[in-house]
Amino acid sequence: MERRASKQEAPFPWRQCVVLALCNAAHFYTICSLFSYAGFLVVDLGWSPNVDEAGYVAGYLGSALVVGRLFTSVLWGRLADAFGRKPAILLSMAGILVGNLAFGMTKTLHAALIVRAIFLGACNGWVSLMGVYVGEVGGASRQNRVNGYTLTGGTFCQLSGPAVAALLYNKIPRYPALAPSLLGACLALVAILLGSVWLTETKQPGYALVGDDDEPEQITSDVQSTLFAKGVFLRFALGFATFAAFDTIPLWAIASLKAGGLDLTRAHLAIILTVASGVQVLYSFRFMANFMEGRGLRGSLVSAACAAASVLAFIPMCGGLEAPFGVKLLFLAVPVTIFYAAATTAFSTAQAIVNNVVRSAERGYANGVAATVEAVGKAAGPTFGAVVLATGFSSHHGGFAAFWCLASSLLLAVVVARKLPESVEKSLDDELATIEMTRRKEVGFDEGQEMWDAKLGKRDSEPVLSSLDEGAV
């Protein structure tokens, strides 16, 4: 029997990329749309006395979502391994749909935190599932390109989402956050409808060890390896710094000049984020995959993290700038664009590294573990950044402490990435397949893949075993 064609030889999965981009758009819009109006929301609903002190409360809204994810990220990975990738993805989008509707109608801080933690955090497994599906539907050689298209949807909403949400905010005075939340619900609904038709199941059938007299050989889990631990740390450090920056940059921008901010209005902030989004979407869609293929995973991560750290170190130097809006636009839009491009690249490479250092059989569980640890960083980041920023404002030190701490965490990721071996550039599945092929040639076995799997006890197939035994007689 001839071996099945590999994913690298299959047609490019354009329809799946469209659905993945929509899912990522719904996910990122849910997270990032809040950043542009959180400072105004907590004041308008009476949760904070003024925008200069809004960071003390706004940071909790950003952190609640990822706190909820802490308890279910591994479960989502297990769910995808047990029942399939497609149903898990569609169920996650349903959580985003319900969560957006519920958050838009909340009036109290406690209700808002509960909704974001449960529906948008615990009931959303997208972070655990995206890396698994991207790696499997694209294959090791094309996962960077599939990931680039997938991240385009997230990148667009990561940057344009806050701008659009700022414009929609308070369009329904009784429920100030409802209008921007309805847009997030619509994105999730479209993703569910198209995903039901276009998504294919990439989970491969499981293999059961055969034989009843001996216990199967214990194989060390890839999740216990040092390389996996380093990949997880990279995702933690990047999650901490970038999510803190997503929340801290807008809070710093709308703060008063006296405190050390730029005193931007909601409309001015929306314009800056819109300008940055156009450049970033073009980069993700057209250039990011080529950059990663040219630099490699390790080189791309080091370059991106260094660029992001440099931007964060520079931004607070613009605090208190008394200048026309055009000047402020130049001094903020350019570094924000660079930062988001660098953060997107770094996240993509860290995700690919985690995929590459574990076998496909453990990939759902491994991504769940990585997403859980990453969620710790994402939960701590916004609260840390917002509180340190507000403390800096109250002590008249501006935003230097907050931004420089975040830059330092990115530099730690650079140190770890530089020590990664060359083997992380390739998928472990491909390496094992090459070893297996070499072994088959050494023993002169040419009876086909299914019989080889049965010989090794990888496939519980009595007909195949019978055929193998008859051939040996």
Quick: pLDDT tens for 238-259. Answer: 999 998 888 888 888 888 888 8
Sequence-distant (≥ 6) Cβ neighbours of residue 437 within 8 angstroms? none
Rounded to whole angstroms, the Cα distance separating 375 from 74 reads 11
Rounded to whole angstroms, the Cα distance separating 362 from 142 reads 20
Closest CA to 329 of 247, 400, 407, 253: 253
Residue 185 lies in a domain: yes
Residue 5 lies in a domain: no
Amino acid letter, 407? A
Same domain, 56 and 28: yes
Sequence-distant (≥ 6) Cβ neighbours of residue 258 within 8 angstroms? 320
What domain count does the chain have? Answer: 2
Rounded to whole angstroms, the Cα distance separating 468 from 473 reads 9
Let me know: does 372 contact 74? Beta carbons within 8 Å: yes
- DSSP class of residue 121? I
Same domain, 289 and 411: yes
Amino acid letter, 322? E
Other Cβ atoms closer than 10 A to 171 = 12
Instruction: Please report which residue ranges of 139-283 form alpha helices under DSSP H.
Output: 143-168, 178-198, 226-254, 266-282
Same domain, 237 and 384: yes
Same domain, 287 and 255: yes
Rounded to whole angstroms, the Cα distance separating 243 from 65 reads 12
Closest CA to 307 of 283, 328, 285: 283
Residue 208 lies in a domain: no
Residue 209 lies in a domain: no
Rounded to whole angstroms, the Cα distance separating 349 from 355 reads 10
What would the two tokens of residue 312 be?
């964060």
Same domain, 324 and 458: no
Let me know: does 229 contact 364? Beta carbons within 8 Å: no
Which residue has tokens 């969620």? 375
Q: What residue numbers bound the domain in which 449 lies? A: 439-472
Let me know: does 384 contact 241? Beta carbons within 8 Å: no
Residue 204 lies in a domain: no
Rounded to whole angstroms, the Cα distance separating 334 from 348 reads 22
Residue 433 lies in a domain: no
Residues belonging to the chain: 473
pLDDT digits (tens, 9 = 90+) for 208-232: 333 334 444 445 667 788 989 999 9
Same domain, 39 and 135: yes
Which residue has tokens 């130049």? 330
Same domain, 445 and 373: no
Same domain, 301 and 385: yes
Provide the pLDDT for residue 140: 64
Sign of CA dihedral 151, 116, 392, 324: positive
Rounded to whole angstroms, the Cα distance separating 139 from 11 reads 12
Let me know: does 398 contact 253? Beta carbons within 8 Å: no
DSSP states along 409-444: HHHHHHHHHHT--GGGGS-HHHHHHHHHHHHHHHHT
- DSSP class of residue 362? G
Let me know: does 260 contact 320? Beta carbons within 8 Å: yes
Same domain, 178 and 101: yes
Burial class, 441, CB count within 10 angstroms (exposed 0-12 / middle 13-18 / buried 19+): exposed
Rounded to whole angstroms, the Cα distance separating 210 from 198 reads 36
Residue 221 lies in a domain: no
Please calculate the CA angle 23-99-245 and round it to the nearest 5 degrees: 70
Provide the pLDDT for residue 453: 52
Same domain, 345 and 460: no
Sequence-distant (≥ 6) Cβ neighbours of residue 45 within 8 angstroms? 107, 108, 109, 176
Same domain, 370 and 404: yes
Whole-model pTM: value is 0.70
Same domain, 321 and 261: yes
Give the SS3 label for residue 326. helix
Query: CA 323 from chain center: how many Å?
Result: 36
CATH of residue 362's domain is 1.20.1250.20
Query: Which segments in the chain show pLDDT lower than 70?
Result: 1-10, 51-52, 55, 140, 159, 204-221, 429-473
Residue 215 lies in a domain: no
